[in-house]
């Protein structure tokens, strides 16, 4: 059974030298973490400079990313060194897409949108804010995912992406007219059958679904009222 994940955490491999960031592989990080005595790589995925996603620890297992909150977190590590160079555009795009997929997989999308300050998507360093709020036990001295990674900007981009998704229907004029006619007919029949108020309320709730409402509004506008 899938774990209950509450936060998606961004990390940097912190891998670079003399001002040059390296395109770290998941295999390298796996080796480092085994050298520490861990069973395997602690992160769930690693995102390379070209945006490719390499698998790390099975997300159904408890990862090793942030001390004290591993049981309820999912960990994305970016190749390179976030104190030396920002994420590549491909890493940013791939990271945002993967984060959105995980928000959906773990049922976190609504909370992410409703509570902008809840750190549902966070950088490793922001665990210090969770500690301040009493939501995590162990602070960190790390800058992870790096001084050059602005987590507020990351969250803003994810929010815009989620809010700008195209509607989950194709507008087709004849079909929209049939939908409106069909709904009218259902209301007429509902009255004849003297359906209960509860059933009528459910019918109204369907009629007021944002997608259905948008289709009907558009049809009425284009038909001149």
Give the x-and-dash track for 117-136 against Zn ion (CB under 5 A): -------x------------
Q: How many residues sit close enough to Zn ion to count as binding (CB under 5 A)?
A: 3
CB atoms within 10 A of CB 24: 24
Confirm if 72 and 81 have CB atoms less than 8 A apart: no
Q: How far is the CB of 146 from Zn ion (least distance, A)?
A: 9
Nearest alpha-carbon partner for 17 in 82, 84, 91: 84
Q: Of the ranges 54-62, 94-102, 139-147, 204-212, which one interacts with Zn ion (CB under 5 A)?
A: 139-147
Give the separation between CA 5 and CA 99, rounded to whole angstroms.
12
- In degrees, rounded to 5, the angle at the alpha carbon of residue 121 between the alpha carbons of residues 117 and 127 is 75
Q: How far is the CB of 77 from Zn ion (least distance, A)?
A: 7
Q: How far is the CB of 78 from Zn ion (least distance, A)?
A: 10
Spell out where 101-183 has E strands. Answer: 121-123
CB-side exposure of 153: number of CA atoms within 13 Å?
Answer: 8
Nearest alpha-carbon partner for 63 in 41, 30, 32, 96: 41
Q: How far is the CB of 144 from Zn ion (least distance, A)?
A: 3
Give the separation between CA 198 and CA 170, rounded to whole angstroms.
30
Q: How far is the CB of 199 from Zn ion (least distance, A)?
A: 53
Give the separation between CA 208 and CA 157, rounded to whole angstroms.
29
Peptide bond into 145 cis (omega under 30): yes
Applying CB under 5 A, does 75 fall inside the site for Zn ion?
no
Applying CB under 5 A, does 98 fall inside the site for Zn ion?
no
Q: Which one of 5, 8, 11, 98 is in contact with Zn ion (CB under 5 A)?
A: 11
Nearer to Zn ion by Cβ, of 81 and 124: the residue is 124
Q: How far is the CB of 119 from Zn ion (least distance, A)?
A: 14
Applying CB under 5 A, does 144 fall inside the site for Zn ion?
yes
Nearer to Zn ion by Cβ, of 48 and 124: the residue is 124
Q: Of the ranges 37-45, 88-96, 116-124, 190-198, which one interacts with Zn ion (CB under 5 A)?
A: 116-124
* Residues at the contact surface with Zn ion, assessed by CB under 5 A: 11, 124, 144
């Amino acid at each position: 059974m899938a774990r209950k994940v509450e936060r998606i955490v961004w990390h940097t491999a912190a891998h670079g030298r003399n001002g040059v960031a390296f395109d770290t592989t998941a295999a390298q990080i796996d080796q480092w973490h085994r050298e520490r005595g861990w069973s395997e790589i602690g992160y769930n995925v690693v995102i390379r400079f070209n945006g490719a996603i390499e698998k790390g620890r099975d997300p159904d297992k408890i990862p090793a990313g942030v001390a004290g909150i591993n049981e309820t977190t999912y960990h994305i590590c970016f190749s390179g060194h976030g104190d030396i160079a920002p994420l590549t555009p491909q890493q940013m795009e791939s990271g945002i897409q993967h984060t959105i997929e995980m928000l959906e997989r773990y049922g976190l999308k609504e909370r992410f949108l409703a509570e902008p300050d809840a750190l549902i998507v966070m950088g490793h360093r922001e665990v210090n804010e969770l500690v301040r709020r009493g939501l995590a036990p162990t602070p960190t001295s790390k800058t992870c995912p790096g001084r050059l990674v602005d987590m507020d900007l990351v969250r803003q981009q994810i929010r815009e992406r989620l809010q700008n998704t195209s509607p989950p229907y194709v507008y087709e004029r004849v079909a929209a007219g049939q939908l409106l006619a069909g709904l009218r007919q259902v209301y007429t029949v509902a009255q004849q059958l003297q359906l209960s108020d509860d059933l009528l309320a459910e019918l109204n709730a369907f009629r007021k679904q944002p997608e259905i409402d948008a289709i009907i509004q558009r049809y009425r506008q284009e038909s001149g009222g």
